[in-house]
Every structure is written in structure tokens, then in C-alpha cells.
Copies of this chain bind each other. A is one copy, B any other.
Amino acid sequence: MSDEQVRYTLPESEIPTHWVNLLPDLPGEPTPPLNPRSMEPAGPDDLTPIFPMGLIGQEVSPEPEVEIPEPVREIYKLWRPSPLYRARRLERALDTPARIYYKYEGGSPPGSHKPNSAVAQAYENKEAGIERLVTETGAGQWGSALAMACSLMGLDCLVYMVGASYDQKPYRRSMMEAWGATVHRSPSDTTEAGRSQAEHQSGSLGIAISEAVEVAAGDAATNYSLGSVLNHVCLHQTVIGQEAMAQMAMAGDEPDVVVGCVGGGSNFAGLAFPYVRRVLRGEARTRFVACEPAACPTLTRGAYRYDFGDTVGMTPLLPMYTLGHDFVPPPVHAGGLRYHGDSPILCGLVKAGIVEPRAFAQNETFEAAVQFAREEAILPAPEPAHAIRGVVQEAEAAREAGEERVILLGLCGHGHFDLSAYDAYLGGELEDPVFSEQDMEAALARLPEAPAIA
């Protein structure tokens, strides 16, 4: 051991002033969402009942940079800039010539990257005179981020939490309540959608979305809020990658490959999109690896089609890799990766061959997470454990090729609320569910009739 730098910290003044908007740099024609009834391109009018104009403007902005409002930057200061680490111990354990860096978002109060967007969304809604936000949450990462953001912005917050998670993960619910949010077990008796699904007592993300959207659509003072997938959510997360660039410059290194996990895509987008823009502009040749669960292999095995964003088919159709809007993934512990589709921008980059997707089984991701924890001390959440598995693969490939390779990992959250999953892994009781050929055939048969993606 020697006097090696392992953590790169930026001063508060280095919090980015703008978000990076990839839309104007994307190749090909734009592929807008479709109105679910007319199948025509959806416009702002399709979104104003549940989103403020500020966010709709960000969703379709043609500007390559979008200014971050000062009050949002002010709140970012509570946990940003987030640290970048060099994983020297992991490198030694893997006996690799690769240099591994990781950008850690688990230091935010809710413990993940989610508040980067939650605060921005709460701000735009507050500015628009909205008094309350309503959202859905599965395991609770997004719900707790929005609860915190609403608390800081002076908004009420209502969260529909998937029934099974509500029963099994009471601590995420308690966290939301500590920040002042109201949490309903979904399906609830507070909405028509919930009452109509009363027989599905364990609930689903799809039902919870339906409940939240119904509440938002029916109350002018209440808007809906979504934690991933949409362009403006990916946009908000790009503070991550911009900071990482400044920190990699401090380290005197440039990533050869950027590795992140993908659920709806906002975490991956946050770290990767600022680097992707360099590639799109011919300024760099970085590779990008997107890691997902073999149990929900959207990017590796999904169909590239227009599909609904929610299970019951209320939202506009989005152009994306999809396993079918009513696909219910097996209950893997990486709850944040259990989504049938992905960010349309990210899907376009996969289609264009710029981002390479890889799928991993549950046990191999926990094996990587435990090795990471024992070398680097931080206990990762099950979601970024997928990305760590991808990093191990890259580091081993570098060793075999005898090549120095600079790997940048997005470590988007800690596993403090996921220890029952570690327990199951260490006890040898973790299953490895996979997505079968039959699952795929069934998914294709259920896709809605819609135009092909241009």
C-alpha cells in the first residue's frame, strides 16, 4: 500500500450549470411518441394534463444544453458533486492491467441517483403552481427520492407503492413517511383503477402507475411524476457524466469503456450521454456497455417496436426495445431493473450499435457485488451489481489481452435496503430466473398494433 489517490472530489462550484441534451445530436429522424388512440405523433397537449410545460419543454428540447435552474443546483449541493473513486483494491484482486474508476451516487440522502431528477421535477411543478405530486414506486428508490424532493420544495407527495413491496419492504415506506409523504398500498380503494384490480392484492407497477395517473388527471393541483424512461428524466441525470468527465481529467485518464446498469435507462444515460455525445461528434471512440438482468433482458432480447409505457395501456406509445407492456418480470432483487421497456434515446443508441447490451444472471451479479464490497468497502445495490459484473468481464478481458483498459463504472446506489437479498445469496438460496423463448413469443404476440419505428 502506498500514497495512492483513490477519491476525486470536486468543489461545490463545479456542479454543472447545464444538463446535456442528446436529442439534437442523435443520428436519423426523430421518433416521437404516439397518441395511444390516434397512433399519430403525440404533442404537448397529450401531456399537459399530468406534466408542467417546463418539463414538456425539456422533453422535446432542440437545444444541446439546458440550463439547470439555480434553486435546483442549490439543492444538488446537499450531495453533489458526488465522488469518483479509483478501484485500486478491486484491480489488484482481479489481477488486471485495467484501471477501474467508479462514480458513486449512493451518497445522496435517499441513497441513489434518483433525486437528481426528483428535485428538478419538483421544482418545475412548484414553479407551475402545482401543490402535489403523485407517483408510483416498486421497491421504493424513486418514491423516496420524490418524497425528499417534495419535502425540500414544499410540495405534498403521494406515492402508490406496489402491494408486495409495501408488505415486504416497510422501511422504504417509513423513509418516505419520515420525509412527509403519504404512501398508499396499491391496489388501493382510493382510485377506480385500484378498486378494479382489487383481486390482484400483490399489485404491480402497472396498476400503481394507473392509480397515480388517474389521481393526477383528476386534480388540477396535482401532477404526475415519473422516475425514468422519458427524455427529461435522462436529461436531469447528465450531471453525473459531466462531473465524471471533470474527475477523470483530475485523474489524468480517459475511459475506454463506460459501464452501467439499465432498468428504464436514466442511470445509464446520466453517466454515459455526455460521453456518447463526444462519440456522436467524432471526438472520441469510447465504448458503452449496458448491463441488464437475464430475467428481464429488454435490450438484449426485446423487440424494437412502439409499445405502451404502462401495463394497462394508458400512456403514449414509445419507440423502444420491449418485452411487451404487460410482461411481469420474475421477482429478482434488482427491483429497479424490472421494466418491460427502456428509454427511447438509449434504445436508439443500442439499435445504432453505439451502446452494447449484456444480460447477467442474478447469482453472478451478487458474486461480483460481494467481491466489490470486500475490496472497496461500499455495499452496492442489486441494480449496479449488474454493472459491476460487466466491469469484471471487461477487466478480465483486458488481462487476457494484456492491455491497459480504462473502465468507468456507474455505481448508482447502495444496498442498505437490500440486505435480505445478500442474505439469500450468501445462504445459497438465490434463484437465477431467465427469460425463455416461450416468454419472447408470448411477448411478441401481445404487442399493440402500431406503425414500425422509422
Residues of A within 8 A of B (CB): 1-7, 9-12, 70-71, 73-75, 77-79, 85, 89, 107, 109, 111, 148, 151-152, 170-171, 174-175, 177-180, 370, 373-379, 416-417, 419-420, 422-423, 426
The answer to whether B9 and A171 have CB atoms under 8 Å apart is no
| B contact residues around A70 at 8 Å (CB) | 1-3
> For residue A89, which residue of chain B has the nearest CB?
B152
CA A5 to CA B75, docked complex, whole Å: 10
| B contact residues around A9 at 8 Å (CB) | 9-12
The answer to whether B12 and A423 have CB atoms under 8 Å apart is no
Given A70-B1, A171-B420, the answer on whether A78 and B7 have CB atoms closer than 8 Å is yes
Q: How far is the CB of A205 from chain B (nearest CB, A)?
A: 22
The answer to whether B179 and A374 have CB atoms under 8 Å apart is yes
The answer to whether A426 and B178 have CB atoms under 8 Å apart is yes
The answer to whether A77 and B7 have CB atoms under 8 Å apart is yes
Among A73, A171, A177, max chain B CB count under 10 A is at A171
Q: How far is the CB of A106 from chain B (nearest CB, A)?
A: 9
Task: Please give me the 8 A-B residue pairs with the lowest Cβ-Cβ distance, nearest first.
Answer: A174-B419, A171-B419, A109-B377, A416-B416, A174-B423, A1-B71, A6-B77, A151-B374
The answer to whether B422 and A177 have CB atoms under 8 Å apart is yes
Given A7-B77, A151-B374, the answer on whether A107 and B107 have CB atoms closer than 8 Å is yes
Q: How far is the CB of A227 from chain B (nearest CB, A)?
A: 17
Given A9-B9, A422-B174, the answer on whether A416 and B111 have CB atoms closer than 8 Å is yes
The answer to whether A4 and B74 have CB atoms under 8 Å apart is yes
Provide 5 A-B residue pairs closer than 8 Å at the C-beta atoms, listed in order of the A residue: A7-B12, A111-B416, A152-B375, A170-B423, A171-B419
The answer to whether A419 and B175 have CB atoms under 8 Å apart is yes
The answer to whether B377 and A180 have CB atoms under 8 Å apart is no
The answer to whether B74 and A3 have CB atoms under 8 Å apart is yes
Given A152-B377, A377-B109, the answer on whether A5 and B77 have CB atoms closer than 8 Å is yes
CA A137 to CA B375, docked complex, whole Å: 23
Given A89-B152, A152-B89, A416-B416, the answer on whether A377 and B422 have CB atoms closer than 8 Å is no
If A3-B74, A177-B426 are given as contacts, then 20 extra A-B residue pairs at C-beta distance below 8 Å, sorted by A number, are A1-B70, A5-B77, A6-B12, A6-B74, A6-B77, A6-B78, A7-B12, A9-B10, A78-B377, A79-B377, A89-B152, A109-B377, A109-B378, A151-B373, A151-B374, A174-B426, A178-B370, A178-B422, A178-B426, A416-B417
Q: How far is the CB of A218 from chain B (nearest CB, A)?
A: 28
> For residue A77, which residue of chain B has the nearest CB?
B6
**A374 contact from B79, B171, B180, B376, Cβ within 8 A:** B180
| B contact residues around A11 at 8 Å (CB) | 9
CA A107 to CA B7, docked complex, whole Å: 13
Q: How far is the CB of A376 from chain B (nearest CB, A)?
A: 7
